[in-house]
A and B are shown apart, each in its own frame.
Chain A
Amino acid sequence: MITVRGKDPGVQNTVVSRPEVQRTWLHRLRKLALYALLTIMALVMIFPFLVMIFTSLKVPSDTFSYPPRLLPQEQLTVVMPDMDEPAPLFNIEVDGEKRQLALVQDNIRIGIYADPNALEVTYSLPVREVKPTGGFMDQQTITIDGKEQELWDVEVNGQVVQMIQTGLTAYGRFVDPNDPSVEVLANVRLSEPVTRVTARPQNYTEVLQLNGLGRSLTNTMLVTICVVLGQLVTSVSGGYAFARLRFPGRDVVFVLYLGTMMIPFVVLIMPLYQLMVQIGWSDRLVALILPWIFTAYGTFLMRQFFLTIPREIEEAALLDGASRLEILWRLFIPAAVPALATLATFTFLYAWNSFFWPLVIINTGNTDNHVLTLSLNVLRGRAADSPNLVLAGAAISVIPPMLIFILAQRFFIESATSSGVKG
């Protein structure tokens, strides 16, 4: 590729031939395609979050709409002189020109009429304006295709024509707010409302007050910090012991550790819950922290990393009289910063997102001890009819870790990439 070509000037830079130019073009095209692909992929990755954030800013009546709209919008209204409530505005075509009209009356019953001799031409008129042929008591009928139908006097272009009713529907009455003489009857559902983009940030303040979501946010942070720190400590010491110290039974214990990774967590809930009750930790935050700082996963990861550190360094330090803790602290931990970052990332995600254990161990009534996932679960039941609130809650749970990871990506992602998870 390009960079490499530069490195070897003697061979390639002598003549720029025609194929070379073509290759550059091809290269650029490929690059373009690559970027297009990456961008599409990025859109796919990011779109659900856009939906979440925009929906969380919507007004309640805007949350359910079809076709779905990304941006939060609200319909414009206008105050009409003889109406109690502001009338919604619609874009209606009048004499070939689009105008903003106010809906002043809806559900006006409309009959659809047609001349029995020319059924394909229909006329829509309010049923009130149509009179039965021959009067109400003695309405005339006509038989079409063996079916008797009533006849109505319909005024068309100043002429009264006898027609049959072929259907019923309902229209709304639209009036120009500035010129009340302009009046149109039209289908409301299919009319295009006049909207403007708005945002309703109050959703966030509301949802934070609801169920004490603010408290769950700080609780989650606290729990996550404790779990991450605790797990780093236990995993580093355990991983070091497994990787570097020989003691009887080490390999058996290690295999046992690996085995527990394969057991579904759900099976642990009941025995662990019993244990927590016995210790008196049920319904307490400590139950979300302590059991989760001893994991096979972290120990496994650290062990794999420590295995890659050359033994010679350690042996030299031992001969100098350093203790194991000193070696761990001075040699292994500095070398393992990338691996620690990886582990911290894993653990952070795990602790921040854990849902089932909090669900069973923390009492639903004790909102002081709720974590985010728990509040979100309560919220999705209790505010099921206001998706704007539910998604505002979801946004609150998603945005902080997102921000942390974007801001600190040098630390988290890049160290993860350089840690070389050796598997």
Chain B
Amino acid sequence: MAATAQPMQKPIKEANGWLTGLVIWHILILLGASAGVYALYTAQILLPEWVRWFSLGALLLMVPGSLGAILFIPRRDHRGRTLSLLVNYIGFLLCVLAFLQFIGVFAGFDELADRFPRSLPFFGIAFAGYLIYAFADRYENSPRRQRTIQRMGKIVMLAGLLLALLALIGWEAVPQFVQERLQVPILLLLAGGLLFGLMFWAMWRRPAAQAMQVNNARQEAIEGYLLLSPNLIGFLLFLAGPLMLSLYTSFTNWDGFGTRDFIGVANYAKLLNLTFAPLADARQPANQVVDVRVYDELWRFSFLGHSYLVAAADKLFWLALRNTFLFGILVVPLAVLPALGLAAVLNSKLAGMKVFRSIYFIPSVAAVVGIALIWQWMYNATVGWINYGLLVATNFFNSITGLSIVAAQPRWLSVSDTALFAIVVMVAWQTIGFNTILFLAGMQNVPKVLYEAATVDGADARRQFISITLPLLGPTTVFVLSTSIIAAFQIFEPIFIMTNPAGGPNNSTLSAVLYLYQNGFQRFNQGYASAVAWLLFLIIFIVTLIQYRRQGNTSYEL
């Protein structure tokens, strides 16, 4: 700012006027907000509970904020500007959101859905326009024709969008809307929002900033928060807030309805309650060595000639953990390694790779619910495709070799040995294509020069892959692995849909998240379920951390 200070005398003078106005504005806010806090706190204004607390919180922020602004602005202290911006921003957001909520914009999405089908054909036109635009790539050799086609495509696209929007508008509802919705209190909200917005703008302007002696770093910090704010507010409201609530819930015995007593770490204690007992012989019943009113047998093992028994207060939790780990160990390599191989092949310049690429990607596009239905059908042990395929293949093999091997007919989803594996295969099948695309992305970022140099040095394709592609694929691998692991630990929907009872047979597919769901939504032990969730979070966190350490911390510039 210093460099351009000289010719800015006039703007600063103008800014002084604005700043005086702002001080008065903040005095008004201070008074209004204090009165509001008082009224809300003593419940003089009756609002729905959440609105009350929410507004109370916002007003409580505004009171000291305005106070600070009143004190700092006349001193031309940069903190005054920050506080003023904060207060006005909050006020603006509150007013606008409340305005939108009360005129029914959010709830109006349902009505929008009514009209959406009629604008769909126009969206189709817009999409066709895009296709025309994309088609122009065919004419890379004749730029003029290419440009003409592109322009055509653009026009079709824009026209389609425009028509679609026109069709979206509920013209028939407009008069009624004006009549019913545009009432004084709602309009007041809008006016308030505009006023806050105006004041924010006044303080934001460069002359005001100069007058308040804001340096670059401070300006950058404010801009940072401002740019982050849409995301941050939504994040706090819809993710962090509910998450904190669930953390609190994990220390209660909340049943989802009435009871919500703080019980400390009791939930965690029960989940982690394990006991070991030496056994007289390997077949000794559990009820002779542990208190079976509390513990269930989990596992028995022999060590140095002695047998031991492990029992848990919550057997299912440990089974769920075991299954989850097993699932992760099986599915991550199955979904990642073939993807790496496929990507290496698809990355070559052979003909038809694009076709294969899209085919492999298709399963990733389909909804898990639909996929699971199809696979459930195919896994049917008596009339399903997979076992029939095994039968046909075995018969064919027998007919050419003259052997008489009996075809294996696994009962995929109905015995504990294969059920989890069946789910693994399905999930791997669905995610391979996606991982392949990610790897391809990484490979195409490897500079071609490196390969050319390697070729000159006489390295063959395999050597090139091992010594160039793999190392340079590091960041992508980290990304694919960590998202795969996180997803594997949260496996839920396929199991929920494909196994009956969910988690069966004999709890062999009970995953941690499924167990969480059963506790939270079938037995309504919400507190207990939250504790499961947070334990699972801890585990995922540790596993991810270990993975980062092993991969080296190169890729995430934290």
Q: Do chains A and B touch in the complex (CB under 8 A)?
A: yes
Which of A48-102 touch B at CB < 8 Å?
48-49, 51-52, 55, 64-68
Q: Are A268 and B110 in contact (CB under 8 A)?
A: no
In the docked arrangement, what's the CA distance between A225 and B107, Å? 17
Q: Are B555 and A423 in contact (CB under 8 A)?
A: yes
Q: Are B533 and A238 in contact (CB under 8 A)?
A: no
Stretch in A116-124, A171-179, A180-188, A373-381 touching the partner? A373-381
Residue interface mask B547-558, A partner, CB < 8 A = 1: 000000001111
Which of A261-291 touch B at CB < 8 Å?
261-272, 274-275, 278-281, 284-286, 289-291
In the docked arrangement, what's the CA distance between A92 and B438, Å? 56
Q: Are A272 and B441 in contact (CB under 8 A)?
A: no
Q: Cβ of A20 < 8 Å from any Cβ of B?
A: no
With A290-B106, A397-B367, A423-B556: A48-B374 Cβ-Cβ less than 8 Å: yes
Q: Are B113 and A218 in contact (CB under 8 A)?
A: yes
The residue from B114, B361, B378 contacting A51, defined by CB atoms under 8 A apart: B378
With A246-B221, A256-B240, A387-B377: A263-B444 Cβ-Cβ less than 8 Å: no
Q: Are B373 and A356 in contact (CB under 8 A)?
A: no
In the docked arrangement, what's the CA distance between A9 and B512, Å? 61
The residue from B106, B249, B486 contacting A284, defined by CB atoms under 8 A apart: B106
With A269-B520, A270-B256: A281-B106 Cβ-Cβ less than 8 Å: yes
A218's closest neighbor in chain B, by CB?
Answer: B117
Q: Cβ of A46 < 8 Å from any Cβ of B?
A: yes
Q: Are A45 and B440 in contact (CB under 8 A)?
A: no
In the complex, which residues of chain B have a beta carbon less than 8 angstroms from the beta carbon of A233? 230
Which of B173-203 touch A at CB < 8 Å?
none
Q: Are B107 and A284 in contact (CB under 8 A)?
A: yes
B contact face: mostly helix, strand, loop, or mixed:
helix
A262's closest neighbor in chain B, by CB?
Answer: B540
State how many angstroms separate the Cβ of B488 from the closest Cβ of chain A: 12
Q: Cβ of B112 < 8 Å from any Cβ of A?
A: yes
The residue from B221, B352, B374 contacting A52, defined by CB atoms under 8 A apart: B374
State how many angstroms separate the Cβ of A54 from the closest Cβ of chain B: 11
Q: Cβ of A229 < 8 Å from any Cβ of B?
A: no
Q: Cβ of B8 < 8 Å from any Cβ of A?
A: no
In the complex, which residues of chain A have a beta carbon less than 8 angstroms from the beta carbon of B486? 261-262
With A275-B241, A324-B227, A368-B113: A421-B441 Cβ-Cβ less than 8 Å: yes
Q: Are B375 and A48 in contact (CB under 8 A)?
A: yes
The residue from B345, B369, B474, B530 contacting A376, defined by CB atoms under 8 A apart: B369
State how many angstroms separate the Cβ of A345 from the closest Cβ of chain B: 9
The residue from A65, A256, A290, A422 contacting B475, defined by CB atoms under 8 A apart: A422
Question: How many residues of chain B have a CB within 8 Å of chain A?
Answer: 125
Q: Cβ of A307 < 8 Å from any Cβ of B?
A: yes
In the complex, which residues of chain B have a beta carbon less than 8 angstroms from the beta carbon of A52? 370, 374
In the docked arrangement, what's the CA distance between A372 and B365, Å? 14
Q: Are B367 and A307 in contact (CB under 8 A)?
A: no
Q: Are A41 and B234 in contact (CB under 8 A)?
A: no
A contact face: mostly helix, strand, loop, or mixed:
helix
Residue interface mask B220-243, A partner, CB < 8 A = 1: 111111011011111101111111
Which of B460-495 touch A at CB < 8 Å?
461, 474-480, 482, 486, 489-490, 492-493
The residue from B235, B373, B452, B513 contacting A266, defined by CB atoms under 8 A apart: B513
Q: Are B378 and A263 in contact (CB under 8 A)?
A: no
With A44-B429, A51-B378, A421-B479: A391-B373 Cβ-Cβ less than 8 Å: yes
A249's closest neighbor in chain B, by CB?
Answer: B225
Q: Cβ of A240 < 8 Å from any Cβ of B?
A: yes
Q: Are B359 and A45 in contact (CB under 8 A)?
A: yes
Q: Cβ of B398 < 8 Å from any Cβ of A?
A: no
State how many angstroms separate the Cβ of A248 from the closest Cβ of chain B: 6
In the complex, which residues of chain A have a beta carbon less than 8 angstroms from the beta carbon of B440? 417
In the docked arrangement, what's the CA distance between A291 and B441, Å? 30
Q: Cβ of A410 < 8 Å from any Cβ of B?
A: yes
State how many angstroms separate the Cβ of B192 from the closest Cβ of chain A: 20
With A48-B374, A264-B490, A268-B243: A68-B384 Cβ-Cβ less than 8 Å: yes
In the complex, which residues of chain B have a beta carbon less than 8 angstroms from the beta carbon of A404? 127
Which of A394-423 touch B at CB < 8 Å?
394-395, 397-398, 401-402, 404-411, 413, 416-423
Q: Cβ of B213 < 8 Å from any Cβ of A?
A: no
Q: Are B444 and A418 in contact (CB under 8 A)?
A: yes
State how many angstroms separate the Cβ of A232 from the closest Cβ of chain B: 11
With A263-B243, A391-B373: A352-B367 Cβ-Cβ less than 8 Å: yes
Q: Cβ of B46 < 8 Å from any Cβ of A?
A: no
Q: Are A284 and B109 in contact (CB under 8 A)?
A: yes
Q: Are B388 and A68 in contact (CB under 8 A)?
A: yes
Q: Cβ of B273 < 8 Å from any Cβ of A?
A: no
Q: Cβ of A247 < 8 Å from any Cβ of B?
A: yes
Q: Cβ of A211 < 8 Å from any Cβ of B?
A: no
In the docked arrangement, what's the CA distance between A355 and B383, Å? 28
State how many angstroms separate the Cβ of B154 from the closest Cβ of chain A: 15
In the docked arrangement, what's the CA distance between A55 and B311, Å? 48
In the complex, which residues of chain B have a beta carbon less than 8 angstroms from the beta carbon of A241? 223-225, 227-228, 231
In the complex, which residues of chain A have a beta carbon less than 8 angstroms from the beta carbon of B556? 304, 423
Q: Are A45 and B235 in contact (CB under 8 A)?
A: no
Q: Which 9 A-B pairs have the closest CB atoms?
A: A294-B234, A423-B479, A238-B231, A245-B224, A271-B242, A247-B224, A267-B533, A394-B370, A423-B475
18 A-B residue pairs with Cβ-Cβ distance under 8 Å, sorted by A, are: A45-B433, A48-B375, A67-B388, A68-B383, A238-B230, A241-B227, A247-B221, A266-B516, A289-B109, A353-B366, A355-B369, A373-B369, A376-B369, A394-B367, A408-B131, A419-B441, A421-B479, A422-B476
B residues neighboring A (CB under 8 Å)? 48-50, 101, 106-107, 109-110, 112-114, 116-117, 120, 127, 130-131, 134, 137, 217, 220-225, 227-228, 230-235, 237-243, 245-246, 249, 256, 342, 345, 348-350, 352, 354, 356-371, 373-375, 377-378, 382-385, 388, 429, 432-433, 437-438, 440-442, 444-445, 452, 455-456, 461, 474-480, 482, 486, 489-490, 492-493, 512-513, 516-517, 520-521, 526, 529-530, 533-534, 536-537, 540-541, 544, 555-558
